[in-house]
Structure formats: structure tokens, C-alpha cells
């Protein structure tokens, strides 16, 4: 199973800021989410993480050896990084939503994220067919991996929402990937039963 995990919350996430390549650590709630994820996730055969601190801190809680893969890094928001979504006007959002190849000033397109993530998914698919592979990443790469699993284009990214510390599961054991779970926050949304 290919298990995709969005990192725990940061202060920027809590305040609704666009968070791309900026590298803040997890906040207290994010560390709690990472610990809850560690209790809920299976011990993986392979643990892959984005190089950004918030992803590595979340992966570290899982307790396995971490392999850093740059392809799982968050989208580069360029000049918008660290700013509220309102920093981009309606025409800018329309251009970005309507054209997966649109590049915001100094940033990266949805299509570029999709290309690098599809490559990463292909590289993990065979192992994930027989073992649990956990990838700790970010909103945009996870959306790209879901698009890969569903066999759809990058334009669907804007139609998905991925919560902090959400888990998605892709079964790669068949002739085509199958989405088994999307945006599962049950590991940290409910009070502990212990």
C-alpha cells in the first residue's frame, strides 16, 4: 500500500497562509498530530519524506529510517509563499485554476508538480504492491499522487482538499492504482481510546 501523509500543522497552516518552500517547523498541534499518526500508521517497509522540516518532523515520529526524496517537496508558490490566498487577485486565481501549466510569479505550475510526483509514484508502485510504503509530503504533491492513481489530469488538483495530517491510501497491487482512502484524519480527529 502506498500511504500518503500530509505533514502536521504549522503556524502558517493554522493562519491559512500559502506555504510552499518556506520551511517552518510543526507547531504544538502539529507535533500532537504527528504522534497520533505514528500510533495509527503501520510500520513501513520504506519511509519517504519531502526534505522540508515540517514533513521530516512528521516522518520522524513514525520511527523508521527516513529517505528524503526531493520530488515530494511542496509546490513552489514563488512570490506568494507565506502570504494569504487573498494576495492573489481573482484573475490570478482563475488563470492558475484554468491552466495547469500556469506559473505564478517565481513559482511552479501544477503540471510541473504532477510530472515529478508521477515519477515518484511509479518508482514506489512495485514495492507498495507488496509492502507498506509511507510518504510524508504536502498538499500539492498528495493531490498529484491522487490524480495519478485515478488516471486523471493535473487540473483536478483544485477540486480536492487535503487536511493537515491527513492520510490517503493507494493500492498498487492490481493492474492499475486504486484509491482506497482519501483525506482520512481519524488518527487525530477523535479522542484517544487508550
Question: Which pLDDT does position 2 carry in this prediction?
Answer: 98
Structural contact between residues 134 and 56, judged by C-beta atoms closer than 8 angstroms = no
Domain boundaries, the chain: 2-189
Q: What is the per-residue pLDDT across 70-81, written as a single tens digit (0 to 9) for each?
A: 999 999 999 999
d(CA 145, CA 175): 17
d(CA 190, CA 12): 23
175: pLDDT strictly greater than 80: yes
DSSP H or E segment with residue 47: strand 46-49
190: pLDDT strictly greater than 50: no
d(CA 178, CA 186): 20
Mean pLDDT across 92-103: 93
**What is this structure's pTM?**
0.95
Question: Which pLDDT does position 63 carry in this prediction?
Answer: 83
Distance of CA 145 to the CA centre of its chain: 8
Q: What is the per-residue pLDDT across 12-51, written as a single tens digit (0 to 9) for each?
A: 999 999 999 999 999 999 999 999 999 999 999 999 999 9
Find the length of the chain: 194
Counting residues of the chain whose pLDDT is more than 70, the rounded percentage is 97
- Give the pLDDT band (50/70/90) at residue 189: low
Mean pLDDT across 78-95: 93
184: pLDDT strictly greater than 50: yes
Q: What is the per-residue pLDDT across 108-150, written as a single tens digit (0 to 9) for each?
A: 999 999 999 999 999 999 999 999 999 999 999 999 999 999 9
CATH of 2-189 among 3.40.50.1240, 2.30.30.100, 2.10.260.10, 3.40.190.80: 3.40.50.1240
Residues annotated catalytic, as ranges = 7, 74
Amino acid at each position: 500500500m502506498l500511504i500518503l501523509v500530509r505533514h502536521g500543522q504549522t503556524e502558517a497552516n493554522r493562519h491559512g497562509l500559502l506555504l510552499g518552500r518556506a520551511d517552518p517547523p510543526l507547531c504544538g498541534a502539529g507535533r500532537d498530530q504527528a504522534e497520533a499518526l505514528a500510533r495509527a500508521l503501520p510500520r513501513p517497509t520504506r519511509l519517504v519524506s519531502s526534505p522540508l522540516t515540517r514533513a521530516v518532523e512528521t516522518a520522524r515520529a513514525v520511527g523508521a529510517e527516513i529517505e528524503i526524496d526531493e520530488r515530494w517537496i511542496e509546490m513552489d508558490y514563488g512570490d506568494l509563499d507565506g502570504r494569504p490566498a487573498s494576495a492573489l487577485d481573482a484573475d490570478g486565481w482563475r488563470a492558475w485554476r484554468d491552466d495547469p501549466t500556469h506559473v505564478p510569479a517565481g513559482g511552479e505550475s501544477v503540471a510541473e508538480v504532477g510530472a515529478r510526483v508521477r515519477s515518484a509514484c511509479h518508482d514506489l508502485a512495485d514495492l507498495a504492491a507488496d509492502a507498506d510504503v509511507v510518504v510524508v509530503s504536502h498538499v500539492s504533491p498528495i493531490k498529484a499522487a491522487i490524480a495519478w492513481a485515478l488516471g486523471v489530469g493535473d487540473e483536478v488538483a483544485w477540486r480536492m482538499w487535503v487536511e493537515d495530517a491527513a492520510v490517503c491510501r493507494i493500492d498498487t497491487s492490481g493492474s492499475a492504482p486504486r484509491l482506497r482512502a482519501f483525506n482520512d484524519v481519524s488518527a487525530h480527529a477523535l479522542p484517544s481510546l487508550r
